[in-house]
Amino acid sequence: MDLTGKVAVVTGSGRGLGLAYATELARAGAAVVVNDVDADVAEAAVRTITDAGGSAVAEVVAVGTSEAAQALVDRAVTEFGRLDVLVNNAGILRDTTVWKMTDEQFDAVITTHLRGTFTCTRAAAIRMREQGEGGRIICVGSPTGQVGNFGQTNYAAAKAGIVGMVRTWAMELARAEITVNAIVPVAATAMTETVPFLQPYIKALETGGPLAQFGRQQLSLGTPQDAAGVVAFLASDAAAGITGQAIGIGGDRLALWSHPGEAVVELADGTGWSADAVAAIWPERFAAAQQTVGQQFPEPPK
């Protein structure tokens, strides 16, 4: 991919997946605005990019507000003259079960992930439409937003909402030739290293073998760099015809998620559906098609 002359903003790109995205975009030739709430982390990320020959600056701001979003767009325009690519990656976790979750824990995650994605996309879309040369907006979903995960009410709501917004924005921005897609990444990061069932696979990544292969292929678990190539692809001219999609990436696994759709349909004959009628038909026609919740994995190798 050749992104020479393109300018990208990557939110939450001081470390982990965000840093991998920013580094890959810079490697392909884009100038990058790195974002983090920690100035030292952001500057270290910039040095990583510039030491490798790339072009990057830091904008230290907490994503969520309209002011923060505008500051990121303004930094790109001031430093590099334009904005072509936005990667909405910034995020936090505040995990706990629904009966223990506080308003503050819920709001913090929604503000950073969902509202932050909205405010940054709005600011970027305004600038890209003014430029009149199209653009690329890449949002970050999660398997939790697609199928749910225990203890992540706030995160699941935010990530599912992001993919819903992507589908809407893809329609709204099509005339301006701005594509909008979601990626659904999995990687060994500081976030995932705290998940107990993933720890054996993360450890196996260092040594290889069947467990590492299972993790990379069935769990989509690899390094942050493994998930970065699809971001550079979606930012490129090669992806001009792709919009409104949710693309899974991680380890050795690349996948296209389907949109929600009706699994089973039955029609009444002008009478609607009473509770008794639903109860009568459910076991035969609907029960077998009930959807699972949470990620479903095959048994790992022994």
Active site residues per annotation:
142, 155, 159
DSSP 15: S
The count of residues in the chain is 302
Give the full edge-to-edge strand order of the sheet including 135-140: 55-60, 31-36, 7-10, 85-88, 135-140, 178-185, 246-250, 253-257
CA dihedral 167, 170, 171, 174 (to 10 degrees): -170
| Beta strand pairing call for 55-60 and 253-257 | unpaired
Torsion sign (Cα): 214, 218, 222, 228: positive
Q: Is 79 left (phi over 0), alpha (psi -120 to 50) or beta?
A: alpha
3-state helix, strand, coil in the chain (%, to 5): 50, 15, 35
Q: How far apart (Å, rounded) are the C-alpha atoms in residues 95 and 107?
A: 12
Burial degree of 259 (CB within 10 A; 0-12, 13-18, 19+): exposed
Instruction: Give the Cα separation of 90 and 253 in Å (integer).
Output: 23
